[in-house]
């Protein structure tokens, strides 16, 4: 369903229902926890994710899925573990219950983290853990076929699987994992909304306390402290000052807050595993005419992205629309500077960056429940840059923002 620019911007203005509460809290100087009502993902939803994965495995002729520690393991099994040279993994067969492989001495700790399932196969230091995977496949009635490997699994694991289960072919499990994770449930969206509310409240608190002479570290520390006080878990807090704002991920040169110079902040946190990612650009003091013009142009790019991001539209078309507007004003062309040298946005959820992206050539069509950052920027190396970033999710009626667009360079937080 197509919607007008007016309705897109109405959706933008209505985003982040709890943000006014956070802003008022920040203005008062008193920060208190905003996340007490956060509802973590439950066992039934994780089981439903496994069932969906199994349906997608059958549709894509994949017999088993191999996952190692990280967000994918938490997503499907609720198991929080870390990656090391010792293999711990979850095996999801196309039929039947999941299984876990882990070192013998880790089993009690791994079981503490399990939310469902009881099939845990252990291995000792002198043994081959991938033989345990082969045993699971055999016990699930699989003697040959295709093993789907989650995209971030390390090569030594794939190599070990090939040796221990030579009748199976390792294939990319993206059709399964992306098919599950790219579309967020109402419970996931609610947690992402909370994370965005926390970050916006943190911004409002920090913005009011920035002083001349502060360093990026000073500002980032204030943001992290505010995030913790508000109930979020800091993921990143970046502050780029003056010329450093011209480089999207900053510069190692010494920086401090100076009158009339740009401050670009890019910050995010997690609430019950789900992340925010918001950027704001403003000036310490009075903006120049050029700073104001570039800022307004970047914001118009955000609005164009919102107008374009409709159900059924290829994700790459969002980047193309924004880039075409900037090029019409003399920026670029393409990814050249002065201009927009990075994609217009990325997927987001449990990871700050997830597939797919608002980037030229991406043909994946937008569908309800997909979540993205909307972060066009304009950068002039050696001078300054402006980036504005808010995250959105796709609905049948159009995109909806988790945080309302920044009102102006003078009042970046309203």
- The pLDDT score that the predictor gives to residue 24 is 47
pLDDT attached to residue 30: 84
Rounded to an integer, what distance in angstroms lies between the CA atom of residue 284 and that of residue 266? 16
Q: Which domains does the chain have, with CATH numbers?
A: 5-30+183-401 (3.90.230.10), 43-181 (3.40.350.10)
Q: Which of 385, 365, 16 is nearest to 202 (CA)?
A: 16
Residue 375: CA atoms inside 13 Å, Cβ hemisphere, count? 28
Helices (DSSP H) in 182-264: which residue ranges? Answer: 186-207, 216-229
Per-residue pLDDT for the chain (414 aa), expressed as one digit of tens each?
A: 333 333 333 344 334 333 444 444 544 468 999 999 999 999 999 999 999 999 999 999 999 999 999 999 999 999 999 999 999 999 999 999 999 999 999 999 999 999 999 999 999 999 999 999 999 999 999 999 999 999 999 999 999 999 999 999 999 999 999 999 999 999 999 999 999 999 999 999 999 999 999 999 999 999 999 999 999 999 999 999 999 999 999 999 999 999 999 999 999 999 999 999 999 999 999 999 999 999 999 999 999 999 999 999 999 999 999 999 999 999 999 999 999 999 999 999 999 999 999 999 999 999 999 999 999 999 999 999 999 999 999 999 999 999 999 999 999 998
Confirm if 366 and 315 have CB atoms less than 8 A apart: yes
Q: Which helix (H) or strand (E) holds 19?
A: helix 19-28
Sheet holding 145-149, edge to edge: 120-123, 99-103, 89-93, 64-67, 145-149, 168-172
Q: Which element (helix H / strand E) includes 53?
A: helix 43-59
The span from the CA of 207 to the CA of 235, in Å, is 19
Q: Are 409 and 18 in contact (CB under 8 A)?
A: no
Q: What pLDDT, on a 0 to 100 scale, did the predictor assign at position 20?
A: 45
Helices (H) and strands (E) in the chain, counts: 12, 17
Q: Which residues contact 382 (CB under 8 A, 6 or more apart)?
A: 243, 246
Residue 29's pLDDT is 61
Q: What is the value of pTM for the model shown?
A: 0.92
Locate the DSSP E strands across 336-397: 345-347, 354-358, 371-374, 377-380, 384-387, 390-395
pLDDT of residue 414: 84
Separation of alpha carbons 70 and 51, rounded Å: 20
Distances (CA, A) of 250 to 147, 243, 264, 356: 41, 9, 9, 24
The strand pair at 262-271 and 145-149 is best described as: unpaired
């Amino acid at each position: 369903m197509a919607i007008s620019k007016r309705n897109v911007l109405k959706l933008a203005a209505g985003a982040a229902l709890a943000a006014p509460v956070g802003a008022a809290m920040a203005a008062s100087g008193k920060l208190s926890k905003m996340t007490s009502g956060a509802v973590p993902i439950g066992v039934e939803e994780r089981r439903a994710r496994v069932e969906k994965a199994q349906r997608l495995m059958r549709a894509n002729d994949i017999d088993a899925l191999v996952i190692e520690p990280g967000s994918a393991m938490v997503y499907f099994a609720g198991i929080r573990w870390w990656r090391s040279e010792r293999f711990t993994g979850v095996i999801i067969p196309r039929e039947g219950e999941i299984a876990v492989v882990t070192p013998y001495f880790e089993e009690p700790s791994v079981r503490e983290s399990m939310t469902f399932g009881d099939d845990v196969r252990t291995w000792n230091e002198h043994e081959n853990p991938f033989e345990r995977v082969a045993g699971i496949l055999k016990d699930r009635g699989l003697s040959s076929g295709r093993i789907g490997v989650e995209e971030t699994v390390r090569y030594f694991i794939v190599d070990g699987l090939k040796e221990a289960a030579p009748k199976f072919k390792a294939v990319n499990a993206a059709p399964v994992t992306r098919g599950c994770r790219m579309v967020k449930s109402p419970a996931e969206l609610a947690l992402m909304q909370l994370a965005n509310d926390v970050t916006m409240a943190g911004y409002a608190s920090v913005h009011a306390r920035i002083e001349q002479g502060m360093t990026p570290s000073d500002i980032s520390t204030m943001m992290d402290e505010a995030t913790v006080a508000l109930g979020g878990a800091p993921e990143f807090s970046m502050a780029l000052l003056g010329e450093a704002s011209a480089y999207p991920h900053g510069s190692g040169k010494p920086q401090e807050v100076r009158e009339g110079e740009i401050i670009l902040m890019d910050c995010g946190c997690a609430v019950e595993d789900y992340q925010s990612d918001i950027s704001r650009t403003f000036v310490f003091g009075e903006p120049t005419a050029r700073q104001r013009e570039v800022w307004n142009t970047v914001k118009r790019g955000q609005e164009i992205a919102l107008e374009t991001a409709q159900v059924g539209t290829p994700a790459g078309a969002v980047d193309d629309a924004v880039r075409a507007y900037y090029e019409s004003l003399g920026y670029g062309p393409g990814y050249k500077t002065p201009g927009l040298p990075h994609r217009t946005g990325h997927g987001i959820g449990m990871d700050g960056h997830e597939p797919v992206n608002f980037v030229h050539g991406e043909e994946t069509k937008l569908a309800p429940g997909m979540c993205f950052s909307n972060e066009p920027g304009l950068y002039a190396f050696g001078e300054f840059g402006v980036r504005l970033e808010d995250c959105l999710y796709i609905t049948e009626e159009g995109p909806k923002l988790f945080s309302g667009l920044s009102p102006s360079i003078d009042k970046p937080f309203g």
